[in-house]
């Protein structure tokens, strides 16, 4: 049992380093170029980190943590598709296999999220009504924040599909700040420190990207 707990923690830390650390890679590249840029490594780290944090959320019993990393793999995958196509590295057959694999991954994620939420309900249904209300209130706050996170990537996805290249508009970073604050508060209230710390550490990077975007007056393009 102790070994399993250690493995879960290692999985969570590894996922957090990849998922939240991606913005520090993006920041370093942006500072070197003097403008807001998203390197292709950002999308790889997003995908692998998100899957790891999804599993960590399931194993650690975090409904919000699991939900937060269920559907966003679609966005990361589509950005990689456009980058690969732009570089001539994706054949039609490869595209079909890749999209099929992502679809299966998302379906599996939906099942895991449903299991996690059901387990949360079962674990809290016998608690005092005031405790239940408090618990679900903070989960709802986090879900609202996650909704904003999803919105930022929906906007980014739409613009990317329209332009046929991976682009991040300035509004992406503003929404990121608001969503991070809401989710950080929710995770803190539930003592889910790994998620809360990761979100906190990205706030400076979001602010720095807002400055770089406005200084250059250009959208962010993946390179």
Asked if residues 159 and 169 have their Cβ atoms less than 8 Å apart, the reply is: yes
Q: Is residue 58 part of a domain?
A: yes
pLDDT value of position 219: 52
| Tally of domains within the chain | 1
Q: Residue 35 domain-assigned? A: yes
4, part of any domain? no
Asked if residue 80 belongs to a domain, the reply is yes
Closest C-alpha to 66, from 77, 50, 81:
50
pLDDT at 181: 95
Who contacts 64 (Cβ-Cβ below 8 Å, separation ≥6)? 57, 139, 142, 143, 146, 183, 186, 187, 190, 192, 195
Q: Looking at the domain assignment, is residue 32 inside a domain?
A: yes
Return the closest-CA partner of residue 220 out of 149, 163, 147. Answer: 163
Could you tell me which of 82, 91, 50, 68 has the C-alpha nearest to residue 167? Answer: 82
Q: Supply the range of the domain harboring residue 165.
A: 21-222
16 within a domain of the structure (yes/no): no
Q: What is the DSSP letter of 210?
A: H
Whether residue 46 lies inside any domain: the answer is: yes
Measured at the alpha carbon of residue 105, what is the angle toward residues 56 and 39, in degrees to the nearest 5?
80
pTM of the model: 0.81
pLDDT of residue 216: 61
pLDDT in tens, the chain (223 residues): 677 888 899 999 999 999 999 989 988 988 888 777 788 999 999 999 999 999 999 999 999 999 989 888 888 898 899 889 888 888 888 889 999 999 999 999 999 999 999 999 999 998 899 999 999 999 999 999 999 988 887 888 888 888 877 777 888 889 999 999 999 999 999 999 999 999 999 998 888 888 877 776 555 555 4
What pLDDT is recorded for position 160? 80
Give residue 36's pLDDT: 72
Residue 13 forms part of a structural domain? no
Q: Are strands 37-38 and 220-222 parallel, antiparallel or unpaired?
A: parallel
């Amino acid at each position: 049992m102790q070994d399993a707990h250690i493995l879960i923690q290692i999985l969570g830390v590894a996922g957090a380093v990849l998922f939240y650390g991606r913005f520090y890679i993006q920041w370093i590249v942006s500072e070197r170029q003097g403008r807001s840029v998203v390197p292709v490594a950002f999308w790889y780290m997003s995908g692998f980190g998100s899957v790891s944090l999804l599993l960590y959320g399931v194993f650690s019993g975090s409904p919000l943590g699991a939900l937060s990393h269920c559907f966003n793999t679609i966005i990361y995958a589509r950005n990689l598709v456009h980058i690969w196509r732009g570089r001539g590295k994706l054949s039609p057959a490869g595209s079909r296999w890749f999209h099929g694999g992502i679809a299966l991954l998302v379906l599996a994620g939906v099942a895991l999220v449903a299991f996690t939420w059901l387990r949360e309900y079962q674990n809290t249904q016998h608690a005092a009504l005031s405790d239940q209300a408090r618990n679900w209130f903070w989960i709802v706050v986090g879900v609202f924040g996650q909704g904003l996170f999803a919105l930022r990537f929906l906007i980014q996805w739409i613009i990317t599909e329209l332009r046929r290249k991976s682009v991040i508009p300035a509004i992406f970073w503003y929404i990121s700040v608001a969503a991070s604050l809401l989710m950080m508060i929710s995770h803190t209230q539930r003592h889910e420190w790994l998620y809360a710390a990761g979100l906190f550490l990205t706030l400076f990077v979001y602010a720095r990207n807002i400055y770089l975007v406005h200084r250059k007056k250009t959208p962010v393009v993946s390179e």
